[in-house]
Amino acid sequence: MISAARLFALGGLVLGLLAPCRAAEPGPVPAAWAWAPPVPEPADSLYQSPVQLLLSKDGRRLFVACEQSGEVAVVDTRQRQVGGRVAVGGEPFGLVLSADEQTLYVSCRRSNDVAVVDLKSLQVQARLKVGDDPHGLALSPDGKFLMVANLGTHDLSVIELALGREVRRLGLGRGPFGLALSPDGTTLFTSSQYSNPVPFRTQPVLEMTVVDVAGQRVRERRPLPGTVIGQGITLTPDGRYALTAVELPKNLLPETQVYQGWMVTFGFALSETRPGGRSALLLIDEPNLYFADPYGVAVSPDGRWLYLSSSGVDMLTVVDLNAALRVLQAEDGRIGASDEQLRQYARHLGLSSEYVAARIPTGANPKGLASSPDGRWLYAALRLDDQVAVIDTRKRVVAATIDLGGPGTVTPLRRGAQLFNYASISFQKQLSCATCHPEYSVDGLNYDIAADGGMGHNLVDNMTMRQVGPTGPFKWRGKNPTIERQDGPRAAQLFFRTHGFELQDRKLVSRFIESIPKRPNRYLAADGQLNRVQQLGKKLFERAYDNQGRYIPLGNRCVSCHPHPYGTDHQLHNIGSQNYHDLDGNFDTPHLVNTYERAPYMHDGRCYSLEEIWTLYNPDDTHGVTNDMNKEQLNALIEYIKTY
C-alpha cells in the first residue's frame, strides 16, 4: 500500500473513476441492491428536443437540429412554421450550409458521422465518417474542406468534400464543442468542454484552440484558466474578439462557502483573436442570483449586443458589448486592463451591472441561438419545450414561438428531464444537475463536498449519469442504495442548499436519470466481436496466473470486482488507493461502461489516463496484478476495458 507521505508527494499529479478491484479488507458491504429500468410512454418517442439553429443568408429559412427525433426541421421564418423535415438520425447537432445554400451538413453525435443533405429534395445524399461524438462544423472559404469538432476524440476532422472522406486530424483541447470561423475565413476558433490535464487539486484550464484554415494546422493553444464547459462560441462581426460561454467552478474550495458562489459561477470569455492575444473572463451572474449553464451565443450584426442562453434558468442575457469593452479597457482588438484587474473581474459578481443590459425569460432549456441578418429577430431553440422562441430584440421579449410538432404533453420522463436541467432547485439558482453533468456526462472535476469528516477530506471525482441506473449503490462510499436516495436530503444539503426536490419530483428526476443510455462504444465492433489485442486483454482481465505462473487469488482478479455486463460487483473494496485526504480506503466499485469517455479516474480524480492507474498507483499489486505485465500486455488490458 502506498504511504500517505508518498501519496502527498505524488498528490501534485492527477486522479478519476476506475478504482476498486481487489477485495483486500473490504469495507461495509451495502445492502442488496435492486433496480428496474423505467418504462417510457409512447409520447417519449415523439419529442423533438431542438438544440442548434442555423439561418440562411436571407433569413428566410431556419434549420433546426432536433436531437431526440433525429431530424432537421426547416422553418419558414415568415410563416413561422415548419415547412419540411429531413430524417438524418444519429442525434443531429452541428449545422453548416454550402456557399450556394443547396447543401446542408449536419453532424450526428450518436452515429459519429456527418449527414450531407440535398436541400432541394430534403434527402440525405451521403454520410461522412468522422471522429467520436462530432459537434461543431465549419466550411473552408473555398468550400473544399469541411471541419468537424469531435468531442469524444478531442480532435478536428478535416474532410475533403471532393473525395468524400477525412484527410487530416488535428489535436484540439479536451472535448472540443463549438467552431467559429473568422470573417475572412483564414482562422478557426474552437471551444472545449473539458479542462486539459492539470496537476491534482489545481484549477482547471480550458483550451481555445486556434487553427490556420489554409495550412490545416494548429496555430495557437490559448488557455482559459479557471474555466470548464466552454460550449457556444462566436466572433464579433469585425473579427477582433472571440466570445465563448463558460463556467467558472470553485471546486477547490469547500462547498460550505456561499460568498461569490459556493460551487460555480457563469459567464463568458472575451478573447483577442490576434496571434498571442489575451483573454478576459466576465460573469453574467449577480450577487444573489445566478444564470446557470450558459450555452448558446450570438452577436447582433452591428456588433453591439451579445446574447447568451442560460439553459439552466430559462433565460437569455443581453450584454452591451461596448460597455463590456469599456470595462476591459479594450480598443482596436486589444484588452487594456492589467492582469491583476482581469483576475478580479473573473470573480466579481457585482460587475455584471456594468454591461448586462437585459434578461429575457424564455421557455424550457434554451440552447442554440441565431440572429436574423438585420438583427431584428433572435431565435432560440427551446429544447425541452419542442419550440423555437422568436425574440423581438427591440422590445426584448418573446414575440412568438414556433411549434416543432412534439407530442404536446409532458410525460413523467420529460418532467424528470426538465427538473434535471433546471436550477430552480438550488439556492439563488446557483446550479442544476446538468451543471456538473453536461450532456449527462461529467465535468471532469473533483470536489471538496465538506462532508464525511469535514473540509479538505474525502475529495471525490464526479461520475457520469450515462447508464448509471443499474450500477448502484451510489456515491464513492456506496452510501446510497438508489438514485432517489442520492437525490434526496443529502443532495439538498450538500449541493442545492435548499429543502431539495419534493417527493414526487425526486421520483421523476431519479427515473429520468435511470433512463439515460450509454453512448455507442467506439472501441467495440458493431457485431460485438473483439479484435486480437482486445482478446489478449480479456485473457489478462480474467487470468488466474501471472506471467511467472503464480496463482492470483480470486479477490485480486480484475473480473472479480468488474464483471459483465456493467463492470461492477456493487460492493466496497480497499485496493490500496487511499490518498492523504481520505479518512479510510474503502470505496464503491465504479462501473466500466464507456470508461474511456469519463476521465479523470480513481475516486478522487488523480489520473487523467487509464495507464496511470496501474503505472503510478498500483506498486504493490493491490489493484489487480499488473506489475508483471509488459507494455503490450498492459495496453491490451486497457483496450479490453474500453470495450465495456
pLDDT > 90: what percent of the chain? 86
Q: Which residues contact 48 (CB under 8 A, 6 or more apart)?
A: 66, 68, 69, 71, 73, 386, 404, 405, 406
Residues 471-496 have pLDDT tens digits of: 999 989 888 889 998 888 878 888 88
CATH of the domain at 241: 2.130.10.10
Q: Does a structural domain hold residue 356?
A: yes
E strands, 273-396, are: 279-283, 294-299, 305-310, 315-320, 330-331, 334-335, 356-361, 366-371, 377-382, 387-392
**Count of alpha carbons within 13 angstroms of residue 266, beta-carbon side:** 30
Q: Give the tens place of pLDDT for each residue, 265-314.
A: 999 999 999 999 999 999 999 999 999 999 999 999 999 999 999 999 99
Share above pLDDT 70 across residues of the chain, in percent, rounded to a whole number:
93
The backbone torsions φ and ψ at residue 318, rounded to the nearest 5 degrees and listed phi first, read -105, 120
Neighbouring residues of 527: CB distance < 8 A, sequence distance ≥ 6:
none
Q: Tell me how many domains the chain contains.
A: 1
What is the residue type of 147? M
Residue 133 has pLDDT above 80, yes or no: yes
Is the pLDDT at 426 greater than 70, yes or no?
yes
Asked if residue 592 belongs to a domain, the reply is no
**Residue 139 cell numbers, joined:** 466550411
User: Containing domain of residue 317, as a range?
Assistant: 226-384
The answer to whether position 298 is within a domain reads yes
Whether residue 540 lies inside any domain: the answer is no
> According to the model, what pLDDT value does residue 12 have?
33
Query: 46 in a domain, yes or no?
Result: no
Over the stretch 157-170, which tens digit does the pLDDT of each residue have? 999 999 999 999 99
The answer to the question of residue 248 being in a domain is yes
Identify whether 621 is part of a domain: no
CA gap 644, 637 in Å, rounded = 12
Q: Provide the pLDDT for residue 8.
A: 28
Q: What are the pLDDT digits (tens) for 304-359?
A: 999 999 999 999 999 999 999 999 999 999 999 999 999 999 999 999 999 999 99
Determine, yes or no, domain membership for 264. Answer: yes
pLDDT at 34: 65
